[in-house]
Structure 1
Amino acid sequence: MLFHRSLTTRTRLRAAAVGALFSALAALLVTTPTAASAAEPAGNPAPARVGDLRPGQAFMGAGTMIHEGAAAADDAMVIPLDSSGGVQGIDVSHWQGAINWTSVRNAGIQFAWMKATEGTSYKDSSFNSNYVGAYNAGVIRGAYHFALPNASSGATQANYFASNGGAWSRDNLTLPGVLDIESNPYGATCYGLSQTAMRSWITDFYNTYKSRTSRDIVIYTSPSWWNTCTGSWSGMAAKSPLWVAHWTSAGSPTLPGGFSVWTVWQYTSSGSVSGVSGGVDRDKFNGSRDRLLALANNTA
């Protein structure tokens, strides 16, 4: 779900995460991000590596790359699944730049989640255009919030998310919001919270989002982070659909402790799709399109 994430750039960032040489790939950085909104760090060029991210610049999978590297994948260079397999989706942020959503839909992508907010003060500058563009192209769309549990309470961030793009409506094309909770891209993996405190933070976010939208929040995480920072907690398994990050060409992902089934699988961080200039995270829904629509319409 990078820095205008071209395929070569995504590969470069993965290489940085696992300690590969930067010099051989330096020339492959193609662009800088689109103009930032007032809520994002203004005037920041694309960082040379994922570890140089500044607050507000995080994207889905950023913390996983920094803290887990190749541990998130079966091998350093993941071969994407056949794009025709199952119900396919993508996740995006302002790092992708302008997206041709009609081309994305024509390429077989049926759903997309896009970054809306981070912490309590950052709103993605491309969210509005992505959210409307995906809807108009017939892509079942949704919003995600990059969590910073050390910045405020879960309730505060859930309210910020719900008020800035994370709301939900039964319009046949809107998915419930996502809590992107993964390794801290700016510091300590678990944000300085104990396992008990992290569980409480997630519960606080879940309860507030549910009261604001009537929907269960979808949880995006990696097995390593969840097991380490929540203690393989099973407390959300019966309430929140799981979106698991495991970049692999294998037939199924590894699940975090406490979960027995996945709803969405981010299977590569270096995919591609028509309509997106360069690389993009690729995702797969665990079920048919009818089941995806049931999730969107809260009839699952």
Structure 2
Amino acid sequence: MSIRRARTAGSRRRRLTLAGVLAASLTLLVAPLSATAATAADTGADAPAGEPTTLEVGELAPGTAFMGAGELAHGDATPDDAPQFTPYAPTDGVQGIDVSHWQGSINWTSVRNSGIQFAWMKATEGTSYRDPSFNTNYPAAHAAGVIRGTYHFALPNSSSGATQANFFASNGGAWSADNLTLPGVLDIESNPYGAQCYGLSTTQMRTWIQDFYNTYKARTGRDVVIYTSPSWWNTCTGSWSGMASQSPLWVAHWTTANSPTLPGGFSVHTVWQYTDSGSVSGVSGNVDRDQFNGSRDRLLALANNTP
């Protein structure tokens, strides 16, 4: 079954609920953002708890994409024969989550006590959107002992890679050697707002990604982590091998298999997002679950930029 799942009466109700949330999210795009800005989950009783589990292309309001939204809308991260709701697969090892304003208020102490060791959170999208929960989540995760990092949702059709890398680095994407901060992530996936590859050719997309990488590296001294799915990478970059020696790979592949399928050009992954419909103590509703490919010592080495 494709990830663009058949709608049940319950899922239709969720979509109607989502429409109200998107209207509220549009307000966020034009209002000044601060640490106390309202989140989508704070806008009232009709707000969804966690990320949507069904999504169509163009359904989200600009700026409100979350990690995996494009894969959900285009069906790129789940095999066609996957169950309707992908159950947990590799819940052993070093576990993590990724979050955005869709998760609302998070109890990071409960998250850490539940065994979650790391988390990446949305900081920015495109060239103007800052996630309204970032200023709360980023220090709170650190205080709870969660190894934290940030991600940028790329919109390659809106500006250059350098422009977006600078925006990201200036609005939460910077790195600090404090033993608890991971390098930033370039979330480069299917366009949840329109055409899968953002209207770019494979050559243009490769240039855009390299441009982002070079600028982020110059700003922070770190190699940006690349989050993507095999389907998107193979289609929109032509299975490009050019980033394999530069960026750690975070692969989105929602399956019950023991290991993920990798994008063409990569031989190893650093992080695996193995489900888009997980749950964790301290987080309301659906949350993406992730597994680090290695020991906690290796995760700390990634955070500290040590061999």
Deviation beyond 2 Å, 4+ runs, structure 1: 22-51, 69-74
Q: Deviations over 1:87-113 (max 9, x none)?
A: 000000000000000000000000000
| Identity value in percent | 71
1:78 corresponds to:
86
Q: By how many angstroms is 1:70 displaced? A: 7.0
Is the Cα–Cα contact under 8 Å of residues 26 and 62 in structure 2 kept in the other structure?
Answer: no
Is the Cα–Cα contact under 8 Å of residues 167 and 213 in structure 1 kept in the other structure?
Answer: yes
Q: Distance in 2 between matches of 1:277 and 1:297?
A: 30
Q: By how many angstroms is 1:82 displaced? A: 5.4
User: Is the counterpart of residue 248 in structure 1 residue 248 in structure 2?
Assistant: no
Is the Cα–Cα contact under 8 Å of residues 72 and 222 in structure 1 kept in the other structure?
Answer: no
Is the Cα–Cα contact under 8 Å of residues 229 and 251 in structure 2 kept in the other structure?
Answer: yes
Is the Cα–Cα contact under 8 Å of residues 18 and 70 in structure 1 kept in the other structure?
Answer: no
Secondary structure at the counterpart of residue 250 of structure 2? strand
Unpaired runs of at least 5, structure 2: 32-37
Query: Which of the numbers 88, 109, 113 marks the counterpart of 1:106?
Result: 113
1:10 corresponds to:
none
Q: Distance in 1 between matches of 2:76 and 2:263?
A: 17
Output aligned runs, 1:50-129, within 5 Å. Answer: 50-51=55-56, 52-68=59-75, 71-72=78-79, 75-76=82-83, 77-81=85-89, 83=91, 85-129=92-136
What is the RMSD of the two structures over their aligned residues, measured on CA atoms? 2.5
1:6 corresponds to:
none
User: Is the counterpart of residue 20 in structure 1 residue 6 in structure 2?
Assistant: yes
Is the Cα–Cα contact under 8 Å of residues 25 and 64 in structure 2 kept in the other structure?
Answer: no
2:215 corresponds to:
208
Secondary structure at the counterpart of residue 29 of structure 2? coil
Unpaired runs of at least 5, structure 1: 1-13
Is the Cα–Cα contact under 8 Å of residues 98 and 121 in structure 2 kept in the other structure?
Answer: yes
Amino acid of the structure 2 residue aligned with 1:274: S
Is the Cα–Cα contact under 8 Å of residues 37 and 125 in structure 1 kept in the other structure?
Answer: no
Q: By how many angstroms is 1:72 displaced? A: 4.5
Q: Distance in 2 between matches of 1:70 and 1:149?
A: 20
1:7 corresponds to:
none
Amino acid of the structure 2 residue aligned with 1:242: L
Query: Which of the numbers 132, 149, 160 marks the counterpart of 2:167?
Result: 160
Q: Distance in 1 between matches of 2:109 and 2:98?
A: 16
1:171/1:33 Cα in 2 relative to 1: closer, same or farther (>3 Å)? farther
Q: Deviations over 1:119-175 (max 9, x none)?
A: 001000000111011000000000000000000000000000000000000000000
Q: How many residues align?
A: 285
Query: Which of the numbers 230, 239, 242 marks the counterpart of 1:235?
Result: 242
Is the Cα–Cα contact under 8 Å of residues 161 and 208 in structure 2 kept in the other structure?
Answer: yes
Query: Which of the numbers 260, 266, 275 marks the counterpart of 1:259?
Result: 266
Q: Distance in 1 between matches of 2:95 and 2:27?
A: 33
Q: By how many angstroms is 1:36 displaced? A: 5.6
2:143 corresponds to:
136
TM-score normalised to the size of structure 2? 0.86
